[in-house]
Chain A
C-alpha cells in the first residue's frame, strides 16, 4: 500500500510541470525541495548521529557560492552543482571535524559560530550582487531547475534511506544513543561521525547549488543568512526527528503555512505564524508525525 502511494507521488511530482504551468508554483516547489534536501541532510547529522548542528547555513552557502561562481563562468550546472557540494564537504572536513572535539552540548553553538563567521566573511568579501547577465537571463527556464531539484531530492532520500539501514548506519545511530557505550564496544566513533558529517554537508551544499541555479539575482551573502541554519532543525523537530518523513512533513508545513499566511494575511502574517508555531510545539510533543504513530518514540 505504502509503495503504491509512494510511486503515485513520484509520478505526480514528475508530471507536475506539465499539469501546472505557473512559474510561481514551480518556483515554490523548488524552494520546497531545497528545504527538504537541507532538512534531510541536517537530520542525518543531527537526528541520526545526534550531533545537532546549527551551522548548516555555512555549508549551504558555500555550496551555493561555488556553484554560482562556476556556473556563471560557463561550467555546466551538472558539474558545478556537485562541485558545490564537494566544496561544502571540504569545508566541513577542515573546520567541522575539529568541532567534534567539543562537548556535545557545545556543538550547536560552536557550529552556529561557524555559520556566523561564514556570513560575516562573505558579506565583507563579496560585496556586489551576483546577477545573471542578459544572455543567461534569456536562457532561463524553470523546467530544468525543477527536474534537477527533484532529482536531487530523490537521490538524497535514497542515500539516507540506505545509509541508515546499512552497517555504518547502525554505528551512527549507536553513537547517537550513547556515544560512550558505542566507543566501548569498539565503534570508531570519530570515523562514523565524520562520515555522517561529510555526507550531510555534501547534500547541504548541493541544496545550495539548487538555490544558485534557481535564483536570477541575489547578493552572495543571502544563502549564508542564519535562517538557513535555523530552519532545518526547526522543520525537522516539528516534523519528527530521526525519521525520513519527518523533515519532509516539517518542511512542507513550515513552507506552506508561511507562504499562505504571507500571501493572504497582510501585515500580521508572521505574527500569526509565530502563534501557530508555538501552538504546534506545545501540543504536539513528538512532532507532527506523532499524530500518526501516537508516540514520541524515535523511529528509524
Chain B
C-alpha cells in the first residue's frame, strides 16, 4: 500500500514537472538572436523516423547524412559574408508519419532551433504540409519524393524540388514503350488509378501523352489506398485485352497486386509498378514473381554521373545495401543547397532563395535547373529500372542503362 501511495505521489510530481517543463520550453522560446558568424548552417528536417513510412524516412536521412559528411569534409560551405567556410548541420525531428505533427515539428525547428533552411522529408502526403509552412516563414525549402505538379502551382516562391514530376514518370514509361520495335509494341495500356493526388495526376498525363503517341488506355480503373483486392481490376484488364500496365500502389498493395495477377493468370507484356517496386525488399518478398517489373524512384545507383560512384561506395560501406532512389535524390538536395548558399554568399533567406532559383549545376541526379514554379528540370529525370533475376537494373535511358530492357514478360506458366 505504501508503495502504491509513493508511486502515486511520484506520478503526481511527474505531472507537475511536465507542466512546468512545458512552461519552461515556452520561455526558452525567448532566446536571443544568433551571433554574427554562426557556428553551423542549420538545416531543419522533419522526417518520419517512426510510424508506417519510417523506412522511407531512414533512406532520406541516409542520403542527407552522407552529403553533409562530404561537404563538411572540406570544411563546409564558403560564405562571402563571413569570409570563411561554415559546416552544415541537419537537425532532425520525427513526424511519426503523421501530417499534422509535420507542421508542428517544423514550427519547433523554426522557433526553437532557429534553423536557416528547411529540408524535405519523405512521402508526398507528409511533405505537402511542409511546403506551406516554409512559404509562410519565407524560408527556402528543398525536398524530394515530391512528384506533384499541382502542389507547385500555387505560386509559392520558396519551395523547390529536384525530383521528377508525374509527367516525367509517365513520359519515361512511354519512351520505353516507344523503344520497342513496332511489330511487338503493346498499344493497349491498362491504368489502375490509386485514389490519391499522385494517381489522379498520373492518369491525367498518361491519357494525354498516350493519345499523342498512338497508345490506347483500354482500362482505367480506380482503387482506394486502403484496398487490397485487385481481382475486379485485373479481370477487367484481361477482358479489355490490355497488354501493358501502369500503376502506383503502396508497397503492400504492390505485392498483393502481383500475387493476384499470377493467381488470375494475367500475362501483361510489360508492367510498371511505381513506388511499390522501388524497394530492395521487392525481390526479397516476391522472389522471381517480382521479376520483369519496371519501376522508377527518381534516381538510380547505376547512373554514370559525376559523384555517383563515391556516393555508392560510401553508402554501401555504411549501410551494406545498394543505395535506394530516395537516398540519391536526398543527396542531390544537399548538393543544391550547398551550391546555392555559396553563390548567395550569405544566409539571408531571400538571397539564398534567388540563388536556388538560378541553379545550374551538375548533381548526382544529373544536370539540374529549376522551372519558375520550383520544379526541377534535368536531362536524367526520366529513368526506368527493371527487376531482372532478382537484381535491379537501369534500363532507360539507353546511354545510362546497365542492362537492356527485357521484353516481353514471359507468361506466368512459362517461368
Contacts and interface: CB of A to CB of B under 8 A. Distances in A.
Asked whether any CB of A lies within 8 Å of a CB of B in the complex, the reply is yes
Interface of A: 16, 19-25, 27-28, 31, 120, 123-124, 127-129, 131-134, 137, 140, 215-219, 222, 227, 249, 252-253, 256-257, 260, 262-263, 266-267, 269-270, 280, 283-284, 288, 291
Contacts of A217: 103, 128-133
Given A134-B156, A283-B4, 5 more contacts: A24-B110, A129-B129, A222-B100, A267-B49, A284-B11
B99 A140 contact: no
26 contacts: A19-B27, A21-B30, A23-B107, A23-B111, A24-B29, A24-B104, A28-B22, A31-B100, A31-B104, A123-B196, A127-B196, A127-B197, A129-B129, A131-B132, A133-B155, A134-B157, A215-B100, A215-B129, A217-B128, A217-B133, A249-B15, A256-B18, A257-B18, A267-B94, A270-B96, A283-B4
B151 interface: yes
B135 interface: yes
A13 B117 CA distance: 32
B154 interface: yes
Contacts of B8: 283-284, 291
B25 interface: yes
A267 B30 contact: no
A262 B94 contact: yes
B103 A216 contact: yes
A23 B110 CA distance: 9
B358 interface: no
Interface string B183-204: 0000000000001110010000
Given A123-B195, A219-B128, A270-B96, A24 B108 contact: yes
Contacts of A133: 154-155
A263 B226 contact: no
A274 to B, nearest CB: 11
Interface of B: 4, 7-8, 11-12, 15, 18-19, 21-22, 25-30, 49-51, 93-94, 96, 98-101, 103-105, 107-108, 110-112, 125, 128-133, 135-136, 150-151, 154-157, 195-197, 200, 224-226
B129 A218 contact: yes
Contacts of B108: 24, 263
Given A217-B103, A222-B99, A22 B18 contact: no
A235 to B, nearest CB: 13
A20 B11 contact: no
A219 B125 contact: yes
A132 B133 CA distance: 10
A229 to B, nearest CB: 14
Nearest to A135: B155
Contact of B29 (A22, A129, A283): A22
Contact of A20 (B26, B104, B150): B26
Contacts of B105: 262-263
Given A134-B156, A256-B21, A218 B50 contact: no
Contacts of B132: 131-132, 137, 216-217
Contact of A131 (B4, B7, B131, B157): B131
Contacts of A215: 100, 103, 129
A128 B150 contact: yes
B22 A256 contact: yes
Contacts of A127: 195-197, 200
Contacts of A253: 15, 18
A182 to B, nearest CB: 35
A165 B90 CA distance: 54
A24 B7 contact: no
